[in-house]
Chain A
Amino acid sequence: MLTLDESLSRVMRIGGATAAAFVDYGTGAALRTAGDAGGGLDLAMAADGASSVVRAARSSLAQLGFANGVEDVLVTTPSRYHLVRTVRDGGGDALLLFVGLERARANLALSLHEIARIERDLAS
């Protein structure tokens, strides 16, 4: 059983990871954060954005008639990946994990695999 901070330390060891945060979906609050030093990324703002992006995805899917929850959302820019995972789907009180990765150094498939493992350890 991991604490949120321990999980973030493991996320930060993933190649290319520069910032990570656990986000309370209902409030958009960054509950625990790691990294971002030097990257210039405001994690409080990123957390709010992560929550909004998942809300938009959920809303679109609901309008399309898809009942299943959003597992993750990936926002890619020329230099970075911004990954938002639904760690615990508690409806309005879901727990999200935001991870910022440098594209030049990150392997997206491997990163997703490792994040899934960390989530399993967090839930067990």
Chain B
Amino acid sequence: MELQAPRPGAEAARARLSGAAELLGLTLQRCADEQVTGAVQVGGEPGGLVHLADGLTVAVETPGAPGVEVQLLRSGRLTESDWSGAIGAIAGDPAGAIRLGPELISRGLVSAAELEQLAVAAVFDGTFAVATGQVIDCRLVSTDPFWLPAVPGITADRLWQELDRRRHVLAGRREPVAHDRDRIVPVSWLDRDAVTLSPEQWNLLSHADGRRTPRDLAFVLGRGVYAVTLEIARLLDAGLVQVASRREVPLLQPLPSGGQPPARRVPAAGDAGYADPAYPAEADGAERRDESADLPRRRPGTSGAPGASGAPGASTPGIAGRWAARLPHAWASWSSNE
């Protein structure tokens, strides 16, 4: 029914995360071979739901990266009333999800080219966020068609080629930056005559407050996590920002089996997904907020608490290979459920 990795030993787990990401890669490759339509639910941090149509990835829903609708709204391309108007026009239509894109275009709110750029870029970005986090298990689930998909979708090969390129680019930076952990702040004193900034660099600097990670900044500004992380790496190189502190990400254990995919939400302006991630609960006191900044946030709702199931703690080398070996068996279980 599911692929379950052995519980990673805490100290060595980070080193094996790339192996965990390969589990997702293998799963998507398998879905491509069998032209699956549905979704791969990825358990982990941030985890997510990879939507597939005929084996091609059309959308990635994850709390680890802003989706197309967040990018449209937070970047100011669309106002909330534009968005609610378009949502209202398709409400109640069973095929509403796939009509949202054409609706936005016909209202002149966004061009088809821009929407396609955003949708494809969001697929790459969501995959980056999921695959560079903790991947614990992957299961095939059936879902409704996703809002604002990339049409046509992206092949598994191309998705992984792009992911490798991004990992390579970030690993090659002089000042490495962890997009989900490093809290960024401008340096307090600049010892030089003049600085030239691009508008996007200015926007990053003015929102980097020492609490927000690159991922948080991506949500605030409505941009891709990778694009923001790369820009932050450039600003680090230029000596304009520094890492204020590092968020600890707790290591997760496999989720309880039999979990349901997250319920489909109608993305509505002003819902919790648009809250500033570095300030998750405005009503809470300052101390509580400090604490909550260290917790994993925006995890898909219904997956259950991490750590509730105790998988054997055995951890041996060659872990990725073992997961790979388990894939065909697990796949057979999925297929028989179809």
Chain A interface residues (CB < 8 Å from chain B): 1-5, 7, 22, 24, 26-32, 44, 48, 58-59, 62-63, 87-88, 90-93, 95, 122-123
Are A44 and B161 in contact (CB-based, < 8 A)?
A: yes
From B105, B165, B169, B227, contact of A26 by CB (8 A): B227
| Closest CB in chain B relative to A45 CB, distance in Å | 8
Q: Please, could you name 23 A-B residue pairs with CB atoms under 8 Å apart, sorted by A?
A: A3-B113, A3-B151, A4-B117, A5-B152, A24-B117, A24-B120, A26-B200, A26-B223, A26-B224, A27-B125, A29-B165, A32-B116, A44-B161, A44-B162, A59-B196, A62-B196, A62-B198, A63-B196, A88-B111, A88-B117, A90-B114, A95-B114, A122-B113
Neighbouring B residues of A93 by C-beta, 8 Å = 75, 117, 121, 223-224, 227
Neighbouring A residues of B89 by C-beta, 8 Å = none
User: Which partner residue on chain A sits nearest B197 by CB separation?
Assistant: A62
Neighbouring A residues of B114 by C-beta, 8 Å = 88, 90, 95
Given contacts A92-B231, A93-B223, contact A29 B121 (CB under 8 A): yes
Chain B: interface secondary structure? helix
- A104 and B125 CA atoms in complex are apart in Å by 39
From B116, B124, B200, B226, contact of A4 by CB (8 A): B116
- A12 and B287 CA atoms in complex are apart in Å by 59
- A1 and B214 CA atoms in complex are apart in Å by 35
B78 at the interface (CB under 8 A from A): no
Digitize B105-148: 1 where CB-to-A-CB distance is under 8 Å, 0 elsewhere.
10000011110110011001100000000000000000000000
B interface residues, how many (CB within 8 angstroms): 29
B97 at the interface (CB under 8 A from A): no
| Closest CB in chain A relative to B310 CB, distance in Å | 40
- A28 and B170 CA atoms in complex are apart in Å by 13
| Closest CB in chain B relative to A29 CB, distance in Å | 5
Given contacts A27-B124, A59-B198, contact A48 B117 (CB under 8 A): no
The residue in B116, B117, B124, B230 that gathers the most chain A C-beta atoms within 10 A of its C-beta is B117
Chain B interface residues (CB < 8 Å from chain A): 75, 105, 111-114, 116-117, 120-121, 124-125, 151-152, 161-162, 165-166, 169, 196, 198-200, 223-224, 226-227, 230-231
Neighbouring A residues of B224 by C-beta, 8 Å = 26-27, 93
User: Which partner residue on chain A sits nearest B118 by CB separation?
Assistant: A93
From A29, A63, A87, A122, contact of B124 by CB (8 A): A29
User: Which partner residue on chain B sits nearest A22 by CB separation?
Assistant: B117
| Closest CB in chain A relative to B194 CB, distance in Å | 9
| Closest CB in chain B relative to A10 CB, distance in Å | 13
Neighbouring A residues of B124 by C-beta, 8 Å = 24, 27, 29
Neighbouring A residues of B105 by C-beta, 8 Å = 1
Neighbouring B residues of A91 by C-beta, 8 Å = 198-200
Neighbouring A residues of B199 by C-beta, 8 Å = 91-92
From A44, A92, A123, contact of B113 by CB (8 A): A123
Given contacts A44-B162, A91-B200, A93-B75, contact A31 B120 (CB under 8 A): yes
| Closest CB in chain A relative to B327 CB, distance in Å | 26
| Closest CB in chain A relative to B149 CB, distance in Å | 13
- A30 and B162 CA atoms in complex are apart in Å by 8
User: Which partner residue on chain B sits nearest A45 by CB separation?
Assistant: B165
- A90 and B113 CA atoms in complex are apart in Å by 12
